């Protein structure tokens, strides 16, 4: 199973793809899409959509894991994140990929054991869990964290199903 994770932002969007070969997840792709700070928002969203479509076509993930909307003090920032999330959802849907959403606290809890973990803690734990030593931006580490959350959630569901059929 291949799991894509996306950390949406209208300036930078992180994307990471994990593959589960039965021995646990392996990071096979990570990147930050730079939509630009000075371009108008519609153009930035188009860049995010198009770049994600290319990634999805090349890597063919089975699912997209995405953090759902969360409360932010800055209303404008929350709207922009929502717009970037929509671009990611549309890119996945246009590629025939189902979308699964997770609350940010659940993502942090599944990676760090603490739903209020910092970005630095998340990046550290992503590297530890995957034994990854290569370059990984904050945005792509957050994207990989969402993909890992989905991996752990699915593993738990499968285990639960196995136990109920015993």
Tokens 């291949």 -> residue? 2
| Catalytic-role residue among 7, 12, 51, 142 | 7
d(CA 134, CA 23): 20
- 51 catalytic, yes or no? no
- The count of structural domains within the chain is 1
What's the burial of 143, exposed, middle or buried (CB within 10 Å: 0-12/13-18/19+)?
buried
What is the pLDDT, as a whole number, of residue 3? Answer: 98
| Catalytic-role residue among 20, 40, 62, 67 | 67
- 7 catalytic, yes or no? yes
pLDDT above 70 for 131: yes
What is the pLDDT, as a whole number, of residue 52? Answer: 98
- 139 catalytic, yes or no? yes
- CATH (domain of 139): 3.30.420.10
Read off the pLDDT of residues 50-84 as tens digits, 9 standing for 90 and up: 999 999 999 999 999 999 876 667 888 888 889 99
The domain of 127 spans: 2-164
In this prediction, residue 164 has a pLDDT band, given cuts at 50, 70 and 90, of confident
């Amino acid at each position: 199973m291949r799991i894509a994770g996306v950390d949406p932002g209208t300036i930078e969007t992180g994307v990471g793809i994990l593959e589960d070969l039965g021995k646990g997840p392996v990071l096979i792709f990570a990147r930050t899409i730079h939509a630009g700070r000075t371009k108008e928002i519609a153009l930035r969203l188009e860049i995010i959509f198009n770049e994600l479509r290319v990634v999805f076509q090349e890597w063919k993930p089975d699912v997209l894991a995405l953090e759902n909307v969360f409360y932010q003090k800055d209303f404008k920032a929350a709207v922009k994140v929502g717009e970037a999330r929509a671009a990611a959802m549309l890119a996945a849907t246009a590629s025939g990929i189902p979308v699964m959403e997770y609350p940010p606290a659940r993502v942090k809890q599944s990676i760090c054991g603490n739903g209020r973990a910092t970005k630095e803690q998340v990046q550290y734990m992503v590297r530890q869990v995957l034994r990854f030593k290569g370059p990984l931006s904050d945005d792509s580490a957050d994207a990989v964290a969402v993909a890992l959350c989905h991996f752990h959630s699915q593993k738990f569901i499968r285990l639960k199903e196995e136990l109920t059929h015993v």
